Amino acid sequence: MDYLQKAYCMNQTVRIYAAITTEMVTHVKDIFNMWPSSIDAFGRLLTISSIMSATYKANETLNIFVKGDGPIGKMTVEAKDCKVRGYVENPGVFLQNNDGSINITKAVGNGEIEIVKDLHLRAPFTSSSELISGDIANDFTYYFAKSEQIPSSVGLGVSIDPETNKILASGGFLIQVMPGCKDEYIEKLENKLKNLKPTTEMIKEGYTPIDIINEITDGDYVLLETKEIKYECNCSKERFKKGLKSLGKIELENILNEDKKVDITCNFCNKSYHFDENELKEIILELN
Ligand code: ZN
């Protein structure tokens, strides 16, 4: 089971979230047949999205878009209460750096992060910031500072065996500095982060989220919460039926006459739904 843990540290003036998402990222890689650069970038995005959703109330929904001009194309994630789902434009990207390591910054490219928050106020609230590196972690650090005015630090990683395309580890953390945090605390954290092992190294060594928090805070933390992280799609045949109905009677009659069936695949989970001739006739009848 993937999960995140949330803690306070530095006299409750710093919030830390750490998450392990190896299972989720493996699952997503498998359903979309993703190649290394695509799953590396998307896995990082899914991880920070699940962490970010934990900073909001359980009924509040975040729609997160990373619109880069690299070969991966647009990445879309919906996150609510640590449940996430999403998809990328091109799951089949594999770029390598000169040393053979997986490249994601070129694969993501330049562009922007856009986040639409439905906090059940009058209208959804949209905020955005530019992609400053394409590695997702620095991009979100910049997003939090620029769009939410919260000094933050984001660490994210997905470790993939390039030979077998197996996900060896995935996870990350978010550190947020609250108003009133002393400069000496910030300095202490900055020094710690400079020498911190990569997140995926810690996870491969068997660290749990709280072990990562313990490492960052030198044991000086108060654990607040543990939450399961899950990739979850709520699609159903009933939902797609509603979508078909919205096409209208004339369009549906055209489909019925030409194809006698409809197959729809869900963008978020790749599940296919089939509507045969009789079902289409029924839907048309319901529209009368
Ligand atoms: Zn679905």
C-alpha 190: how far from its chain's center?
25
Q: Are 119 and 111 in contact (CB under 8 A)?
A: no
Q: What was the pLDDT predicted at 181?
A: 93
Q: Give dist(CA 75, CA 235) in Å, integer.
A: 19
Distance 31 CA to ligand 1 centre (A): 11
The ranges of the chain annotated as CATH 3.55.30.10 are 3-231
Burial of 164 (0-12, 13-18, 19+ CB in 10 A): exposed
DSSP 199-249: HHHHHHTT--HHHHHHHHHTT-EEEEEEEEEEE-----HHHHHHHHHTT-H
The environment of the single-atom ion ligand 1, i.e. residues with CB closer than 5 A, is 233, 235, 266, 268-269
Q: What was the pLDDT predicted at 163?
A: 85
Q: What was the pLDDT predicted at 265?
A: 95
Distance 27 CA to ligand 1 centre (A): 14
Distance 60 CA to ligand 1 centre (A): 20
The ranges of the chain annotated as CATH 3.90.1280.10 are 237-286
C-alpha 188: how far from its chain's center?
29
The model's pTM is 0.94
Topology given in CATH for the domain delimited by 237-286: CBS domain Like (3.90.1280)
Topology given in CATH for the domain delimited by 3-231: Hsp33 domain (3.55.30)
Tokens representing residue 134 in the block? 């394409």
Burial 57-81 (b: 16+ CB within 10 A, else e): eeebbbbbbbbbebbbbebbbbbbb
Distance 240 CA to ligand 1 centre (A): 10
Distance 122 CA to ligand 1 centre (A): 28
Q: What was the pLDDT predicted at 121?
A: 79
First to last CA, the chain: 47
Distance 232 CA to ligand 1 centre (A): 8
Distance 231 CA to ligand 1 centre (A): 10
- Backbone CA torsion sign across 175, 181, 184, 185: negative
Q: Quick one: CA torsion of 211, 216, 220, 222, rounded to 10 degrees? A: -60
Q: Are 200 and 159 in contact (CB under 8 A)?
A: yes
Distance 144 CA to ligand 1 centre (A): 30
Per-10-residue mean pLDDT for the chain, 288 residues long?
A: 96 96 98 96 98 95 98 98 98 95 97 93 90 97 94 97 93 96 93 95 97 96 97 95 93 93 95 95 90
